[in-house]
Structure 1
Amino acid sequence: MNVVWPVCALFGGLWVCWLYGRSRAPVGGHGSHHHHHQDGPKTGAAFALSVANDTLHCGAGCTLGDIIAEWLVFAVPAVAVAFGWGSLFGDRIFATWVVDFIFAYAFGVVFQYFAIAPMRGLSFGPGLWAAIKADTLSLIAWQIGMYGCMAVARFRVFPALGLSLHTDSVEFWFVMQCAMTCGYITSYPMNWFLVRLGIKDGM
């Protein structure tokens, strides 16, 4: 979680800082949340908090992946062409979302691997497979919320204001912060489900 917290604070700001404080607060005399996965199954508020932390692992991968992908497509438009702009998609944003997903998925699996493999004592192969299973549905749920928010802003809100969104603008990254928060909201129930099934471990 050491990398996850500052990365997610890029979009979550104060509420991620609040969640960090809650996660590090002693609960039931067992010390900080960092050691809770060793204390047995969680219930109630402790379980909800562990799912929140699991969701942030997905969020960290999405955040880094989307930042890199957005600037890559902005700097090298040919990347968008390679992923369907002008052939499959009339608007570059849809090709960019494909690139976003690929980068976000790759980073998400990496974050999940380094969380799950040490916790379960898995070697590389089984650890990678566990990370893929843990991140796939979680990331899809996240991207649905993120893309939905971006689409509303891109195709409805900003045109109604007579404005447009560009990667090199403050407005774009403000909307991206809102979109990431929406992604967190849509991914949280999926993470709850995955933890209940034992596919993911509560953090």
Structure 2
Amino acid sequence: MIPDWLHVVTQVCLLAGIACAIVIAVDLARHPQRMWIMNVVWPVNALFGTVLTLWLYYRFGRLASRVVDDRMRGDKGRKTPFPVMVAKGAMHCGAGCTLGDLIAEGLALVFPVIAIWAGWKSLFTEKIYAIWVVDFVFAFVIGVAFQYFTIKPLRDLSPGEGIVQAVKADALSLTAWQVGMYGFMAVAQFAIFRHAFGAKLEPVMPEFWFMMQIAMLAGFATSYPVNWWLIATGVKERM
């Protein structure tokens, strides 16, 4: 049985994520980022990063707004620190993963046959593994698209070159993120809910999405060192 305190914590965290995303989205409408894709990245990350993302946005994200960027050109002392650039790079990847997972989970809920197409009952005994396959496909496609719209204009590449460079920049980062996310969701599903609470974690439950919030933070943690390396070596753009 799922304890009452977990219901309360779940509701608070989910509402906090929605509230923080709305606050950032409203501010971005007034102060859009110079790199337009970040107008999507920030509020999407706030859905799971809540107050941490909100703090990071107001502390460093505003430095990339068009107005502030124009004012700060030539001011070398106000540049974004490298560790924060890495965090933004990881968040860029995380936004694609989050949107991909939301779409995949939603489609699988509305159309259960998708899980069967992805290998449930034929390759996997657990439905969650088949859904993860769908999650990864959507996350990869959206993540690469996000990276494409970042790299192509910055490097003035052709569409074909842009896609190739986007895959190079995002494939490893996205995979690292999904490893952390899947790892925590496996613990939540099999160790916490099924073993400790005697309940199955399903997408229709608020607790599922609370666990996804934590899983996304785990994905951020596993992708951060990968993004550090990718950005330091120039494979991925600094943000």
Would you say 1:90 and 2:114 are equivalent positions? no
Asked whether the equivalents of residues 23 and 33 of structure 1 are also in contact (C-alpha less than 8 Å), the reply is no
Number of corresponding residues: 197
Note the aligned Cα RMSD (angstroms).
2.3
Task: Provide Cα deviations, 1:87-142, integer angstroms capped at 9, x if missing partner.
Answer: 10001000000000000000000110111111111121111111110110000100
Query: 1:23: Cα distance to partner?
Result: 1.8
Asked whether the equivalents of residues 51 and 191 of structure 1 are also in contact (C-alpha less than 8 Å), the reply is yes
Code of the residue aligned with 2:200 in structure 1: it is: S
Aligned counterpart for 1:68 among listed residues 80, 94, 103: 103
Q: For residues 129-148 of structure 1, what are the structure 2 equivalents within 5 Å?
A: 129-148=164-183
Would you say 1:8 and 2:48 are equivalent positions? no
Change (3 A) 1:140 1:128: same
Q: Aligned partners of 1:26 and 1:167: how far apart in 2? A: 37
Query: 1:22: Cα distance to partner?
Result: 2.2
Query: 1:21: Cα distance to partner?
Result: 1.5
Q: For residues 173-184 of structure 1, what are the structure 2 equivalents within 5 Å?
A: 173-184=209-220
TM-score scaled by length of structure 2 = 0.77
Partner of 1:202: 238
Q: Percent identity?
A: 53
Q: Aligned partners of 1:137 and 1:174: how far apart in 2? A: 26
Would you say 1:150 and 2:185 are equivalent positions? yes
Q: Which has the higher contact order (CA 8 A, sep 6+)?
A: 1
Task: Provide Cα deviations, 1:157-177, integer angstroms capped at 9, x if missing partner.
Answer: 012112221111100000001
Partner of 2:226: 190
Q: Aligned partners of 1:34 and 1:112: how far apart in 2? A: 24
Structure 2 gaps of 5+ residues are 1-37
Would you say 1:171 and 2:186 are equivalent positions? no
Query: 1:146: Cα distance to partner?
Result: 0.1
Change (3 A) 1:25 1:84: closer
Question: Is 158-167 or 134-143 further displaced after alignment?
Answer: 158-167
Change (3 A) 1:34 1:15: farther
Code of the residue aligned with 1:6 in structure 2: it is: P
Structure 1 gaps of 5+ residues are none
